[in-house]
Structure 1
Amino acid sequence: MAQAAQTTHATTEAHGGAHEDVGFPPFKTETFAGQVIWLTITFVLLYTLISKLVLPRLSGIIENRRVTIAGDLDEAAAMKSRAEEAGAAYEKALAEAKGRAQSLAQDARAKAATETDAKRKTLEADLAKRLADFEATIAQKKTAAMSNVRGIAHETATAIVERLTGKAPAPQTVEAALDQSKA
């Protein structure tokens, strides 16, 4: 290893002398004035480039974006206003439709009630007429049946007496007995 260090030292002397401590160039005071000048030139060039080219473009983009956003907000407000108007118109139309539907339903109920009432009265009149006809028929049949009852009672009484006694009673006697049972 000692030989490697001697070789390195010999190479350094061959290039022009002893090994010199270089350091970080920006911190060297000998080159400080030149560095400040180049810094100033670079700063002025970058400042000019940014202020003349970049900033106008950037401010144009920002202004364009601001105008676009404002336009979009105005359009959104207009759409919101139209949507609210459409909603109000819908609510109004819905209320009118409900009112018309209720009116139609009431008219239909009233018409149905009138028709039903008329049909009911017609049916009641028809039923009353049929009932009267049936009652008249029943009364006629009852009268006819009652008129036959006296004849049947006369024949039955005569047959019973004849069977019990063996001889037929006089018709006046049977009639008198039937008249007594009625009273």
Structure 2
Amino acid sequence: MFVTSAYAQTAPAAPNTPAAPAGEVHTETGVAHGGEHKGAFPPLDSTYFASQLLWLIISFGLFYLLMKKVIVPRVGGILEHRHDRIAQDLDEAARLKAEADAAVETYEKELAAARSKGHKIAETAREAAKTKAVADRAAIEAELTEKLAAAEIRIGEIKAKAFAEVGQIAEETATAIVDQLIGAKASGDDIKAAVAAAKTEA
């Protein structure tokens, strides 16, 4: 216990304690009255080496136990957890990469198959369109041939009919002309004979 100068001056003296001379201060520091401690600095004083060594061993032992039982297991657990998590993440990334590669390969195969199928469908459609065009052309040509033949037959019939009626028309025309020119009607036999003679000359 340390005693201040003011307390030392005002505190009553204990019984059977000799009074201190004036100007002296009594303390419990172990310092001699009226003088200063002349020893070395305590950490460097050889008289304290044994206790210092003992406390050093005790402190080091406590610190070692703290490191071994608390700090090192926690740090090791954290490192192990991080290592496991990194390994798990790497495995997951490898799995995802493998899945992505498989998906890309499947996509490329499906794309190649789709292109091949598209080419085949286009070729089939081209051939079908070509065949249909040829068939349609043949049908149209056959229809046109039939129509042309029917038209030619019709024209022939019309020509025959017209030629058959030419004689009658010529006779009627000649009769009308004779009536107009001479004012008298010619006989039918004369008209027919004249038309026949004209046809023969033609």
2:7 aligns with: 15
Q: Which region of structure 1 is more displaced relative to structure 2, 148-157 or 131-140?
A: 148-157
Q: Which region of structure 1 is more displaced relative to structure 2, 124-133 or 106-115?
A: 106-115
Runs of 4+ in 1 over 3 A off after TM superposition: 29-34, 36-44, 173-180
Structure 1's unaligned 5+ residue stretches are 1-11, 19-28
For residues 34-83 of structure 1, give each alpha carbon's deviation from its aligned partner in whole angstroms, at most 9, with x where no partner exists.
Answer: 8x949845455234312332112211320231132123202311220221
2:128 aligns with: 111
Q: What is the CA–CA distance in structure 1 between the aligned matches of 2:174 and 2:89, rounded to whole Å?
A: 120
Q: 1:145 aligns with which of 162, 170, 179?
A: 162
With normalisation by structure 1, the TM-score equals 0.70
Q: Which region of structure 1 is more displaced relative to structure 2, 39-48 or 54-63?
A: 39-48
Are 2:167 and 2:195, in contact at CA under 8 Å, matched by a contact in 1?
no
1 or 2, which has the higher helix percentage?
Answer: 1
2:102 aligns with: 85
| Secondary structure of 1:124 counterpart | helix
- Using the TM superposition, give the Cα deviation of residue 92 of structure 1 relative to its aligned residue in structure 2, in angstroms: 0.5
Count of residues in correspondence between the two structures: 159
Are 1:162 and 1:168, in contact at CA under 8 Å, matched by a contact in 2?
yes
2:197 aligns with: 176
- Using the TM superposition, give the Cα deviation of residue 144 of structure 1 relative to its aligned residue in structure 2, in angstroms: 0.8
Are 2:179 and 2:185, in contact at CA under 8 Å, matched by a contact in 1?
yes
Q: After TM superposition, list the pairs within 5 Å mapping 1:48-127 onto structure 2.
A: 48-127=65-144
Are 2:178 and 2:185, in contact at CA under 8 Å, matched by a contact in 1?
yes
Q: Which has the higher contact order (CA 8 A, sep 6+)?
A: 2
Distance 1:105 1:64, change over 3 A: same
- Using the TM superposition, give the Cα deviation of residue 156 of structure 1 relative to its aligned residue in structure 2, in angstroms: 0.9
Larger Rg belongs to: 2
Percentage of identical aligned residues: 40
Q: CA RMSD, aligned part only?
A: 3.0
Structure 2's unaligned 5+ residue stretches are 10-24, 26-39
Q: What is the CA–CA distance in structure 1 between the aligned matches of 2:79 and 2:131, rounded to whole Å?
A: 76
For residues 111-134 of structure 1, give each alpha carbon's deviation from its aligned partner in whole angstroms, at most 9, with x where no partner exists.
Answer: 232233223312321221121012
Letter in 1 for 2:197: A
With normalisation by structure 2, the TM-score equals 0.64
Distance 1:16 1:109, change over 3 A: same
Distance 1:104 1:91, change over 3 A: same
Distance 1:39 1:123, change over 3 A: farther
For residues 91-142 of structure 1, give each alpha carbon's deviation from its aligned partner in whole angstroms, at most 9, with x where no partner exists.
Answer: 1012112211221232133123223322331232122112101211111112
